[in-house]
Amino acid sequence: MQVIINILSATFIYLLVAYSFNIIYYTTGFFNLAHAIIITLSGYVSYFFTENIDLPFGVTIVIAVIFSVLVGLLTQLTVYAPLEKRDANPFFKLIASLGLYIVLQNTISVVWGDDTKNFQILKVKKGNEIFGAYITNLQIITILVSLGLFIGGLMFLKYHRVGRNIRAVASNAQLANIIGIDSGKVVLWSFGIGSGLATIAGILVSLDIGLTPSMGFNLLLYGVVAMIIGGVGSTWGLIGGSLLLATAQNLGAYYIDSKWMNAIAYVILILFLIWKPLGFSGKRLKKVEI
Amino acid sequence: MEYILHILIMILLYVMLSQSLTLTAGYSGLISLAHAGFYGIGAYTSAILSVNYGLPFLVTLPLAMIISGVIAIFVSTIALRTVDDYFIIITLGIQVVAFSVMNNWMSLTNGPLGITGIPAISIFGFAFTSKIAFLLLTLVLTALTYFILRNITQSPFGRILIALSEDEIFTKSLGKKVYFAKVASFTIGAMFAAIPGVLYAHYISYIDPTSFTVDESIFILSIVIIGGMRSLWGAAIAAAVLVILPEALRFVGMPSNIAANMRQILYGVALVVMMFKYSNGFGERKSVKAKVPS
């Protein structure tokens, strides 16, 4: 039972990360690895304002969201948009985002140091008992908030005007431009939304396990693995992918050893590529089948 | 003097690492973030064989290359089912799994504690204990690596690699075995990455998993990209500059932990800048075009 609760809370964290990454991937078509730093940065910003300036935690969340969204927009405006203008293919943007990630991660290391920062505001009392297992308040909040944001995101994409524009640009940017949608603006929107969602994920995780400069990268890679397993471009696949990944990792931690969790994620990814190279949803990974 | 010799040795190790990745990433366009993994496999193979079984360098070196190569064949046949972005993520996965094995398989690799007391290299009774002797040995192996890689890249096989990195379908339509060429290029790159691994293990006489992390892979890839992707000499020069850089920063008076971060920040910026330069593809270099007979 305890395992199931751990699986659930991990699933929803992965889902939130994968979804925030997916929104950007969906509109721009490249793997934005610098997204990892948004996750890390939001944790640090919230930590800094809570511990050093003594603002109430709720306010620091708002500050963290604003900060991360600004950073997300800046990366798009200063690096990816100019690259896009030069017709760089997605692959080059990926490497540029890797460079950007290295720069920002080391900046965080210089500012805050490499040691693990403890950021547990929600003190673990004992947890609430259900069906003989314990669930902490943080886990409940994680599950509810992630689920809420995920559903909210889906509704937004489906019914809001901006959301519909995002989907239009994602399916065909040129055609969207022709009917008067400013695709540059829409991409900015997706960066903003993605960064905002990633902020919440980053803060939730840092409340749970504390802060290190590399926390975002690991988390993002789990999100990416969940996305690839689930099948790229499929929203429901994200849920399946996150669930499968969280289940495998937690069962692995339970039966083998928690130190192998990292490896398990990738072994699953590799097994998936052998057995079902197209993910749950069956979309093509290759541009062309030869 | 010892210090300068040490830096020269480290430069040569990174020259080998980056030149072997130049074949994989530059010529055949398979950007791999698993290179430090193969570097580590080389180091661990040789360390385990020489500490536990007392095998000499001349046996462990080929064995390390073969083991690295076999693992590379196995993983690349899987990873090469994907392309571009996905391939990078998969190689990142291979790197993380390799690191996990080094870090967690206590009985084989001694985990985070690492392997100590790796003996110095000795060939036919001559022990390379002094730095200068070791430098010469490294230099010979680097030259050998360069020579072999240069011949590979300028051979018909090298031209197939360049062709497939620019247009895979067209290359296939000419009857070239694209998949085989990719696997071969990945494997050769991994085998040559094992050589600096072996040298590093015997040189430092102690290895632990932190030398073979994802960051190390990113660093090697940065050297290749900054060096101009398809230039063995470019990679060599970039390796020299990037290895000397933190030492120079420390010389100016920067604290050493910040110097390490500064180096990473600088090569991160360099990566972004290089992407602007290459945004039209890696195939723009004139020398590559000139070498293809018309």
Q: How many other CB atoms are there within 10 angstroms of residue B286's CB atom?
A: 7
pLDDT of residue B35: 92
Average of per-residue pLDDT across A35-43:
89
pLDDT of residue B286: 42
Q: State the pLDDT confidence band at A276, using cuts at 50, 70 and 90.
A: low
Domain regions of chain A by residue span:
2-213
Q: State the pLDDT confidence band at B141, using cuts at 50, 70 and 90.
A: very high
The torsion angle over the Cα atoms of residues A279, A280, A281 and A286, rounded to 10 degrees, is 10
Whole-number Cα distances in Å, B165 to A20, A28, A51, A86 = 32, 23, 51, 20
Mean pLDDT computed over every residue of chain A: 81
Amino acid at B108: L
Q: Number of CB pairs < 8 Å for A and B?
A: 136
CB contact under 8 A, A263 and B100: yes
| Total number of residues shown for chain A | 290
| Residue predicted with more confidence, A14 or A231 | A14
How close B286 gets to chain A, by Cα (Å)? Answer: 20
The torsion angle over the Cα atoms of residues B204, B209, B212 and B214, rounded to 10 degrees, is -150
Rg (CA), chain A: 19
Domain regions of chain B by residue span:
2-212
CB contact under 8 A, B225 and A95: yes
Closest CA to B14 of B22, B26, B25: B22
Token pair 């200063």 is found at A78
Chain B residues inside the 8 Å CB shell of A77: none
pLDDT of residue B214: 87
Q: What is the pLDDT of residues A150-159, one digit of tens each?
A: 888 888 888 8
Angle at B19 between CA B12 and CA B162, to 5 degrees: 170
Token pair 């072999």 is found at B148
pLDDT of residue B280: 60
In the three-class reduction of DSSP (H, G, I as helix; E, B as strand; rest coil), residue A171 is classed as helix
Percent of chain A with pLDDT over 90: 1
Tokens found for residue B149: 């890689």
Q: What is the pLDDT of residues A182-224, one digit of tens each?
A: 888 888 888 998 999 899 888 888 888 888 888 888 888 888 8
Whole-number Cα distances in Å, B220 to A40, A68, B33, B71, B91 = 24, 30, 9, 20, 14
Which candidate from B85, B169, B265 shows the least CB-CB separation from A94? B85
pLDDT of residue A178: 85
Q: What is the pLDDT of residues B229-240, one digit of tens each?
A: 888 888 899 899
Can you tell me the distance from the alpha carbon of A279 to that of A17, in angstroms, rounded to the nearest whole number?
18
Question: Which 157-216 residues of chain A touch chain B by CB within 8 A?
Answer: none
Chain A residues inside the 8 Å CB shell of B180: none
Give the chain A residue nearest B221 (alpha carbons). A95
Q: State the pLDDT confidence band at B294, using cuts at 50, 70 and 90.
A: very low
Amino acid at B81: R
Tokens found for residue A99: 């460079």
ipTM of the complex: 0.82
Token pair 């972005």 is found at B85
Chain B residues inside the 8 Å CB shell of A109: 261
Q: What is the pLDDT of residues A44-83, one digit of tens each?
A: 888 888 888 877 888 888 888 998 899 989 888 888 888 8
Amino acid at B98: A
Average of per-residue pLDDT across B177-195:
92
B98, B41 contact by CB (below 8 A): yes
CB contact under 8 A, A110 and B78: no
pLDDT of residue B69: 94
With a cut of 50, say whether residue B290 has pLDDT above it. Answer: no
Hey, which residues does A99 pair with through a beta bridge? none
With a cut of 60, say whether residue B190 has pLDDT above it. Answer: yes
Q: What is the pLDDT of residues A110-141, one digit of tens each?
A: 888 777 777 766 655 566 777 767 777 777 78
Chain A residues inside the 8 Å CB shell of B83: 285-287
Q: Could you tell me if residue A210 is left (phi over 0), alpha (psi between -120 and 50 degrees) or otherwise beta?
A: left
Whole-number Cα distances in Å, B29 to B80, B96, B180, B230, B268 = 12, 21, 14, 9, 20
With a cut of 50, say whether residue A179 has pLDDT above it. Answer: yes
Average of per-residue pLDDT across B126-144:
87
Can you tell me the distance from the alpha carbon of A253 to that of A27, in angstroms, rounded to the nearest whole number?
35
With a cut of 60, say whether residue B6 has pLDDT above it. Answer: yes
Can you tell me the distance from the alpha carbon of B229 to that of B168, in angstroms, rounded to the nearest whole number?
18
- Whether A102 and chain B come into contact, CB under 8 Å, resolves to yes
Which candidate from A99, A266, A285 shows the least CB-CB separation from B93? A266
Beta strands in B65-138 (DSSP E): 122-123, 126-127
Q: State the pLDDT confidence band at A7, using cuts at 50, 70 and 90.
A: confident
The residue among A103, A111, A260, A276 with the most chain B CBs within 10 A of its CB, best to mutate, is A103
In the three-class reduction of DSSP (H, G, I as helix; E, B as strand; rest coil), residue A236 is classed as helix
Chain A residues inside the 8 Å CB shell of B97: 262-263, 266-267, 270
With a cut of 50, say whether residue B287 has pLDDT above it. Answer: no
Helices (H), chain A: 2-28, 35-51, 57-75, 81-85, 90-112, 137-159, 161-171, 173-178, 183-209, 215-230, 235-255, 261-275
Give the chain A residue nearest B222 (alpha carbons). A99
pLDDT of residue B13: 93
| Residue predicted with more confidence, A88 or B5 | B5
Give the chain B residue nearest A274 (alpha carbons). B78
